[in-house]
Structure 1
Amino acid sequence: MNTTRSILFFLTLLCAGTRLMAQEDVAGRVPFYPIPYEFPNVDSIKTVMDRVRVYYESTSPQKLVDATTGKEITDFSKPNKNATVSPGFSSEWTYTHGVVLSAFSYLSDVTGDKRFFADNTRFYGFVEKSLPYLRQNEAQFGRQPGVWSLLHIGALDDCGSIGAALIKTYLKDKNQDHLAVINIINEYISNKQFRLDDGTLARHRPQYKSVWVDDMYMSVPFLTNMGVLTGEKKFYDDAVKQVLQMADRLYVPQTELFDHGWNVNSGDYDPRFYWGRANGWALMSMAELLGVLPKDHPGRNKILHLYRSMIRSLANLQDGTGFWHNLLDRNDTYTETSCTAIFTYAIAKGINEGWISHVYGPVAITGWNATNSRVLANGAVDGTCEGTTFAHDNTYYYYRGKSVDATHGYGPVLYAGAEMIKLLQNPKFDIVKPKPNSINSTFHFRLKSEFPQEAK
């Protein structure tokens, strides 16, 4: 009897141990994802977008103030040498603010929430109301710090991106005051900015006759939207020329990426640095242009090839967390927010527009999940690389700072959210979602036309 009980006890322990080992074995086989590998929903994205908007708005009251006292200037009949623009992201006349304002306009269309576009009318109204007074001050006292570069445009950074957003704003609100500023910007980009002999927009910085891929975004969206505004083919032609001629110098077919910059001194043997955000600016520029470029334009297919090949390369370079690295081909550089958001937007946009295959959908979803993880509870966007010059050494790019105060991340995050909303609502697809706690489960985007539902 004792022997029988001992045997039964042993078998009970053996079964329990086997069950425990099996449980441990299954648990160990379920992947652990440092960024949630989950399906986002439209409402959660809208909530994040609104949080970013509220934070961004809160950074400045959009007033003219006395720099010495901080008090608001309300009497524009009296010149004031100390007059300046109240500090804060939402008061800046900068290309990064231009990206935000373009994204606000887009989000207003995508979500139907007019609070986004209200920021555009508020900001440009503030600018146009303040300009005569600031010009009067500058005429009397000379250039003063903290005043918009619009008064003395000297580079594409001063006008292209924020000018594109102004055209988009005019096309909606039809405020005639916008046209004078649009014309000033067009005169600079079309007739005053330095160009190479073949018409490629360039600068003498940091080297003589330098071409920056960043300048694709500082020019092409403005030229594209001038085409929309005026209906004149010359603007589309110039935009296409900038993309293709910059690509001739900067796009590297072997990597399917853009080198950050080129200069005449190094020519064909220019050192190559695949900085993340610069490649993002190229994609955003092409997306803007492809969205309105006539289908029969002779440069369209060449631009589509650049777009598609970049997406192919970027899908392979995406980090396992869903992020991309600050130097795209160096996975020991930090994962960076602004380029991740831009690539997420560009992939989702490409799918929605039919420029790239829907099989890239999971890349966009994991890119969004990564981007979303960098939006703080108060709506600030963290992990964005600071402003970066066209450099010639890895050390510089490796150790760029990153901060919530690097405003380059806000517009891309807003754009990514808007396009993800459109992607999740795209009626062309069924999206297979991964099962929680599954050993083997992933996302699949499937065309409904290829997988018709069975008749019931």
Structure 2
Amino acid sequence: MTMKLLLKAKQFCCAGLLGAGKKVILGTALVLFLSAGLLAQTNEDIPGRIPEYEVPYEYPTEDAVLEVLNRVRQYYESTSAQMIVDSETGKEITDFSAFNKNATISHGFSSEWSYTHGVVLSAFEYIDDVTGDKAFFANNTRFYDWVLKNLPYFEKNKEQIKSEKIGNWGRILNFHALDDCGSIGAAMIKTYLKDKNEDYLPLIYRVDEHVSKNQFRLDDGTLARHRPQYQSIWADDLYMSVPFLANMGVLTGDNKYFDDAARQLLQMAERLYIPEKELFDHGWSVTSGDYDPRFYWGRANGWTLMAMAELLEVMPENHKDRDELLHLYRSMIRSLANLQDGSGFWHNLLDKNNTYTETSCTAMFTFAVAKGINEGWINHVYGPVALTGWNAITTRVLENGAVDGTCEGTTFAHDNTYYYHRGKSIYATHGYGPVLYAGAEMLRLLRNEKIEVQKARINSRNSTFHYKLKSEWPKE
């Protein structure tokens, strides 16, 4: 039926009013019939009534999530042969009887002693827990065994090494900052707790010596840097320290590590958490103090939530700081749900939606929301936030498994122009670990037996996802 037919029917009616009464009745019936036919048209016939989603608004399957995780794993593994090579010739060094001054580490993500590789290895260990697929955790044992096999070669010849860094292993011989050891050290503890290789312990305790004793701190014990300003704190350093401290607590059973981890989160929050925004400023320094300029960089807030999740999972349930940490976690999730872009992504500067949508923070927030629901830290109604976040992430995982759209390494800066124009690429390795973590937690959410999901209907004018807690509803 068309509008033209309806108009003709009305004309017929009007003509009927001037004629016999039967024509009036017949005309009225025809109008009603044609009107009903118009209303009965399929939704597809009426432009604009069906939402057009930038990212598919659909419920993921376990198989689809696993396919993404394996694709990312395989790409990541392929980036390096994990060899000691001559930096001038590029050839593998096989003779270690004499030191080669050009000795370095082969290029590639999977050979790095770095904080971003630490996130990936922690995610591999977590995926092993969630799926039981040993292909992921095999990377952990292979990497750390390789490091420990070859590290003595460099330690023995330390005086001959002119640079403070050894290629992809960076400052492994002499830690200068939390970036050098905290995240990768946390993943090493997790690996040790599974494979129980005692050879790991000396290096783990050397990391602890730096994090717990040697790293610069403010007078109140807050971990800090003299960069870029004198006595600066970075939200990033929460992930560079808290997961390591939390896992040292697990390893040793000593509550001092849980106490220090909680102290870092709460004391950094005193300076960085902005209650009216329910977000963390990227950094703070003594120089600017109470009037520090504020920039709500996505990944900094992601590091914060990832660090909290690590600690909340393993700290004692009766720890004195637990409730305050849960409040921070819940309030940040509430704010982030509101700031999520309609595509499912979050923006590089969270409160400025004219900055680009960014992959690593989107993955971190997706993980944090799904994790919070699965652990009972936040309400289940946030389920669609995680779901749409995951759907968005999958559009950034390329066919070969590379993760695109991740913001490059970013310093603690003091102007919007800098944050607006950060580069993004598949070579910014900060996105790989969070994407793996997000996928693992989505698998747990899909399998969560406490929750029933009312799914959105495809091509519906008005349908969404509702996550419902089964125990709240009366049994039929």
1:38-437 equivalence runs, <5 A:
38-143=58-163, 145-146=166-167, 148=169, 149-437=171-459
What's the offset of the Cα at 1:234?
Answer: 0.6
Counterpart residue type for residue 179 of structure 2: D
Percentage of pairs with the same residue:
69
CA deviation string 1:92-150 (max 9, x = no partner): 01100000000000001101100100000000011001101112333234336515221
Q: Distance in 2 between matches of 1:19 and 1:328?
A: 43
Give the CA deviation at 1:78.
Answer: 1.7
Query: In 2, distance between residues paired with 1:296 and 1:74?
Result: 53
TM-score by length of 2: 0.91
Segment drifting more, 420-429 vs 148-157: 148-157
Q: Deviations over 1:162-218 (max 9, x none)?
A: 000000000000001110110110001111000000000000000000000000000
Deviation at residue 22 of structure 1 after TM alignment: 6.8
Mapped to 2, the partners of 1:28 and 1:349 lie a distance apart of: 36
Once residues 366 and 453 of structure 1 are traced to their aligned partners in structure 2, the CA distance between those partners, rounded to angstroms, is 30
2:273 touches 2:281 (CA, 8 Å); kept in 1? yes
Indicate the RMSD between aligned Cα atoms, in angstroms.
Answer: 1.9
Identify the range of structure 1 (89-98 vs 444-453) with the bigger mean alpha-carbon deviation.
444-453
Which stretch shifts more, 15-24 or 91-100?
A: 15-24
Q: CA deviation at 1:453?
A: 4.6
SS at match of 1:151: coil
1:184 counterpart letter in structure 2: R
Q: 1:43 to 1:453 in 2, by over 3 A?
A: farther
Q: Distance in 1 between matches of 2:118 and 2:89?
A: 29
**Match for 1:174: what amino acid?**
K
Q: Deviations over 1:282-301 (max 9, x none)?
A: 00000000001111111111
- Which sections of structure 2, spanning at least 5 residues, go unmatched? 1-7, 13-29
**1: CA distance, partners of 2:44 / 2:273:** 49
8 Å contact 1:80–1:137 — kept in the other structure?
Answer: no
Amino acid paired to 2:353 = N
Q: CA deviation at 1:25?
A: 5.8
**1:37 has 2:57 as partner:** yes
Larger radius of gyration: 2
Q: What is the one-letter code of the residue matched to 1:384? A: T
- In 1, Cα distance between equivalents of 2:369 and 2:423: 26
Gaps of 5+ in 1: 1-6
Alignment deviations for residues 257-301 of structure 1 (CA, whole Å, 9 cap, x no partner): 000000001101100000000000000000000001111111111
Query: For 1:73 and 1:189, how far apart are their aligned partners in 2?
Result: 33
Structure 2 partner of 1:3: none
For residues 2-27 of structure 1, the C-alpha deviation after alignment (integer angstroms, 9 at most, x for no partner) is xxxxx99x999x96995898756644
Aligned residues: 447
After superposition, residues 10-21 of structure 1 pair within 5 angstroms as: 18=38
* Misfit runs of 4+, over 4 Å: 14-25
Give me the whole-angstrom Cα distance separating, in 1, the residues matched to 2:313 and 2:161.
Answer: 45
User: What amino acid does structure 2 have at the position aligned with 1:191?
Assistant: K
> Aligned pair in 2 of structure 1 residues 69, 21: CA closer, same or farther (>3 Å)?
same
